[in-house]
Amino acid sequence: MTTTTAARKRVQAKAEYDAFLAQCPSRKLLDRIADKWVTLVLAALRSDGSHRFGADCAGEPRPMRYSELSRLLAGVSQKMLTQTLRSLERDGLITRTVVPTVPVTVTYELTDLGVSLHEVVRGLKGWAETHMDDVLANRATYDNQVA
Amino acid sequence: MTTTTAARKRVQAKAEYDAFLAQCPSRKLLDRIADKWVTLVLAALRSDGSHRFGADCAGEPRPMRYSELSRLLAGVSQKMLTQTLRSLERDGLITRTVVPTVPVTVTYELTDLGVSLHEVVRGLKGWAETHMDDVLANRATYDNQVA
DNA sequence: CAGTATCCAGCTAGATACTG
DNA sequence: CAGTATCTAGCTGGATACTG
């Protein structure tokens, strides 16, 4: 029964790793994926690139070029973008495809694993945008009470 | 119609803030919440404190003492824990309650806003634990191809 | 117990310059 | 176009010591 096996495997994985433990590798992985640039890159690769609002979380993962990403993630440095992309590629979350045109064309695209992570991190970007006003209000209140 | 108003307000908030933009405050907020310690603190305050596997994401938010959090988030320094708790308190995600016993007792508890963020970040911790093996395998493959 | 205060090593991330 | 390489300011976070 594949279903039972898959379910058991998932439970075992859950039991094997625990990010509450300092030495657990999943703690480090959590640190990697809980990152602003990771979140934005994944969101970008799922957007339609038009940068219309609500354009993220579109149906299909869309391949994007380095320069497109660079433009969409406003203000990101080349270093951070490259670093983030390499890290995501190494972890198997995105693929990097080089087309030998002149000049060379490089596209990045989400893998299935990358899509699965995007499902969870897209909530982060959305939450920040949706609750920005609440948080701002709470900060004002807090800072007033302190001062 | 409160429903329409609330819905419109949410749409406006979405349109108002966009984390893709460098100057947007939601970019900074995203940076704050996309954090390892934030994720673990929120997960802890939703766990039953027993640190049984799968104990996070329990039904009720549970108040926890500083020392309990310190023990559960293995390896966290006092500085980081305090810093994270203050930041979460300021943003209105948790409450801090001081009971004047001797010595003093301090408990932290999720607010409704905190619970709503936990809903999204608990996926991060779970994803890291569930897909750790996949990522490890992908890294091995990648490092082999490079070397 | 639940912090605060201070110091400092080291990493991060931006800026800048250069390249196949 | 899609990077790499280098330098550095400054921030992060750990260690340590002290307190109501």
Instruction: Please spell the DSSP secondary structure of B20-64, one letter per residue.
Output: TSTT-HHHHHHHHHS-HHHHHHHHHHHS-SS--TT-TT-SS---E
Is B38 inside any structural domain?
Answer: yes
Exposed/middle/buried for residue A92 (C-beta within 10 Å: 0-12, 13-18, 19+):
buried
Q: Which residue has the tokens 């010595």?
A: B103
Which of B73, B123, B126 comes nearest A123 by C-beta?
A: B123
Is B82 inside any structural domain?
Answer: yes
Q: What is the pLDDT of residues B7-26, one digit of tens each?
A: 655 555 556 899 999 989 99
Residue A51 has pLDDT above 60, yes or no: no
Contact residues for B15 (Cβ-Cβ < 8 A; gap 6+)? A53
B71 touches strand C (CB under 7 A): no
Is A8 inside any structural domain?
Answer: no
Other CB atoms within 10 Å distance of the CB of residue B11: 13
Is A9 inside any structural domain?
Answer: no
Percent of chain B with pLDDT over 70: 82
CA distance A137 to B7: 20
B104 touches strand C (CB under 7 A): yes
Mutate to test the interface with A, among B125, B142, B143 (most CBs of A within 10 A): B125
* Amino acid B1: pLDDT: 45
* Amino acid B12: pLDDT: 59
Q: Is A97 helix (H, G, I), strand (E, B) or coil?
A: strand
Question: Does residue B98 belong to the interface with chain A, where contact is any CB pair within 8 Å?
Answer: no
Structure tokens, B9: 């307000």
Residue B37 has pLDDT above 80, yes or no: yes
Question: Cα Rg for chain B, rounded, in angstroms?
Answer: 19
* Amino acid A145: pLDDT: 85
Cβ contact B45:B62 at 8 Å: yes
Average pLDDT over residues A75-94: 96
Is B50 inside any structural domain?
Answer: yes
Of the pLDDT bands very low, low, confident and very high (cuts 50, 70, 90), residue A61 is confident
Mutate to test the interface with A, among B117, B124, B136, B139 (most CBs of A within 10 A): B124
Cβ contact A86:A79 at 8 Å: no
Cβ contact B111:B95 at 8 Å: yes
| A36:B31 CB<8 A | yes
CA distance B73 to A37: 25
Instruction: For residue A51, report the phi and psi dihedrals to the nearest 5 degrees.
Output: 65, 25
CATH number at residue B53: 1.10.10.10
Q: What is the pLDDT of residues B72-122, one digit of tens each?
A: 999 999 999 999 999 999 999 999 999 999 999 999 999 999 999 999 999
Residues 10-39 in A contacting B (C-alpha not used; CB under 8 Å): 10, 13-23, 25-27, 29-31, 33-36, 38-39
Residue type at position A21:
L
| Domain, as residue range, for B124 | 23-138
Is B15 inside any structural domain?
Answer: no
- The count of domains in chain A is 1
| A73:B139 CB<8 A | no
Structure tokens, A77: 């440095």
* Amino acid A54: pLDDT: 46
Is B146 inside any structural domain?
Answer: no
Is B17 inside any structural domain?
Answer: no
- Count contacts between A and B (CB, < 8 Å): 192
Structure tokens, A108: 């990045």
Residue nearest to nucleotide C2 (CA to C1'): B66
Mean pLDDT over the full length of chain B: 87
